[in-house]
Amino acid sequence: KPANVVVHAAYVLSVATPDDDKWARASAGLTKEMERSSALGIGAVCFHPGSAGASDRAESAKRIAKAITEALKTIESDTRLLVENTAGAGKTMGKTAQEGRDILANVPKSLRARTGYGLDTCHLFSSGYDIRASRQALTAVLDEFEEATGEPPSFFHLNDSATELGSNRDRHVLIGEGLIGKEPFESLIQDHRSNDIPLILETPQQNYEIAGDDDSPDPYDVKMLKLLEGWASK
């Protein structure tokens, strides 16, 4: 159903930027993403906040919230606008629970129900959250985000990481073939916060160039879905 779909906004939309002209273009682009998705009845749009550059990070959080606010006020619909946590490369915003809180806290209360956040497992690991240490460690990370923002995540991007803990690099690999390993994903699937929200694979595909008349599933996707289904049924 379209209402269960989360689409990804363009990566180039940096609404964290201190440059006024660039911010205006990025903010307009985010609003356009909301307009398209709302017309299709899509449940939510997720986006990367972008880089704060050399500016104050608290002020950057306000700029991100301003862009969210403008998009939601301009496009009145049931489509939500969700901040995705980041791997933390350079000066990018949104890599910690506290930055997620700072962004969302600056959105007017009247609009808060239409925004929120989602968590990418590769980004969590790459930004320094050791979700592989134990089931308790993973639970503690999810608790930290929920307590900071006042709400659970609205989606998960399920990706293993090709790079080390705290690398700040966004390099996705198949679940179980990276440095996070399978066990944390099993724990995540069995956590109550993964119930009734979109669980999205952003893992590599075997078929990069699919013929227009080929509707067969990608073998890698099938492999990952079977893993998730097995853990969910335990």
pTM: 0.93
Q: What is the pLDDT of residue 208?
A: 63
Q: What is the pLDDT of residue 214?
A: 67
If 0-12 CB within 10 Å is exposed, 13-18 middle and 19+ buried, where does residue 231 land? middle
Give the single-character DSSP code of 170: -
Q: What is the pLDDT of residue 210?
A: 62
The span from the CA of 226 to the CA of 234, in Å, is 13
Q: What is the pLDDT of residue 229?
A: 85
Concatenated DSSP letters for 13-63?
--TT-S-HHHHHHHHHHHHHHHHHHHHTT-SEEEE---B-TTS-HHHHHHH
CB 63 within 8 A of CB 95: no
22-50: string of b/e by CB count within 10 Å (b at 16+)? bbebbbbbbbbbbeebeeeebbbbbbbbb
Residues of the chain where predicted confidence (pLDDT) is lower than 70: 207-214
Which domains, from first to last, does the chain contain?
A: 2-232 (3.20.20.150)
The model's pLDDT over 165-214, given as tens digits with 9 standing for 90+, comes to 999 999 999 999 999 999 999 999 999 999 999 999 998 877 666 666 66
The span from the CA of 30 to the CA of 46, in Å, is 10
